[in-house]
Structures are given as C-alpha cells and as structure tokens.
Amino acid sequence: MELKKKTVIEYNNKNSQWNKGYVNVYVKGVLQELIGVDDFLENNTDEDVYCVDDIIDQMKVKYSISKVVRNELNWK
C-alpha cells in the first residue's frame, strides 16, 4: 500500500502470538508516532490498555483517524 499523503494507522505485527510489532501513525503521509507495542504495554500505566487494539483505539481518537492497515507476518 502506498502510504504517501495517506492518513492511516498502520500495525506491523511481527508475531501474533506475542505483542511484537509496531503501530505507525501517519497524517498526510508524515509519520506522527511510532509505537513499539511490546515496550508500550510493558511500561503502560493506563488500566484501560491491555492489547494492541487498545493502543490503536487510542490513536484513532487522538488523531481522528478511522483507517487501520494491518500487516500480519506469519512467523511460523
């Protein structure tokens, strides 16, 4: 998918069994946030954030983005 000038949340999942991967937030093609899911969840103090979907939901609200692209890597 061409991300140039796109406003999108992209989740690159490196291992679906564990929380390995990155959430990238693009606004008009410019990277706004890069979140390492494993580190974010490990250091999280928000009781409402338990998984990557919770992180994505927070980014949807923060940046008013509805489009999410999931790139799932088959690690087996």
Q: Give residue-wise pLDDT tens across range 31-75.
A: 999 999 988 988 888 888 888 899 999 999 999 999 999 988 765
Q: Judge contact between 3 and 29, C-beta under 8 A.
A: yes
Which residue in this structure is represented by tokens 């606004």?
27
Which residue in this structure is represented by tokens 């509805």?
66
Task: Pick 20 or 24 by higher pLDDT.
Answer: 24
Mean pLDDT over 8-21 rounds to 82
Closest listed residue to residue 61, CA positions, set 72, 71, 49: 49
Would you place residue 4 in the very low, low, confident or very high pLDDT band (cuts 50, 70, 90)?
Answer: low
pTM: 0.83
| Residues facing residue 34 across a β-bridge | 24
